[in-house]
Amino acid sequence: MASHSRTSARGNSGGGGARIGSGAKIRGRVSGSGDLTVDGSIEGEVSVRGNLVVNESGSVKGDAVDADSITVAGTLEADGQVTGQLRVLVGSRVRCNVKGGIALDEGAEFSGRIDADFDLPPELEGGGHSGRRGRN
């Protein structure tokens, strides 16, 4: 298929991190440490030790996405797991399964499973079925 490119995002200097410009398209895996801002598009896996920001014009589509925090104003579609604190802003379109916390603005389009780790109050635990739901 398409040639795989690698982008390393290194957050060292003042501005720090990497930016995928609005005209840029990346197919492949993007990894590194530092913040990553996406105005263009990425198809593939994203794994950064830092904050991932997908702006209005940006889109990330593909497999797993892993970052310390993920803020989406554009498009995020992931077939794999999304790991990190996800913030979905109004006007964005997000389809993914999230391991961890999510903040969703009213007006954003979202579909997917959220899997936060917490316990229900004891009154609601136990009983008929366990806290984790059987059906998909």
Partner 1 sequence: MANDVAILGRSTHVRGRVTGAASVEIAGRVDGEVDVSGDVTVEAGGLVSANVTGRRLVIRGAIKGDLNGSESIALEDGAKVVGDVRAPRIAIAQGALLRGYVQTANGGSAPRAKATTASRGAVPPPRASTPKHVEHKREVEKPKAAAPAHKAKAPPPPVVPALKKGAKGARRVGAIAGMSKKR
Binding site for partner 1 (CB under 8 A): 87, 101-116, 118, 120-121, 123-124, 127, 131-133
Least distance (Å) from partner 1 to the CB of residue 23?
28
Q: For residues 97 and 51, what is the distance between their CA atoms, to the nearest angstrom?
A: 18
Q: Which is nearer to partner 1, 60 or 88 (CB)?
A: 88
Q: Which is nearer to partner 1, 4 or 125 (CB)?
A: 125
Per-residue burial over 16-48, b = 16 or more CB atoms within 10 Å of its CB, e = otherwise: ebbbbeeeeebebbbbbbbbbbbbbbbebbbbb
Q: Which is nearer to partner 1, 23 or 128 (CB)?
A: 128
Least distance (Å) from partner 1 to the CB of residue 39?
24
Q: For residues 90 and 4, what is the distance between their CA atoms, to the nearest angstrom?
A: 32
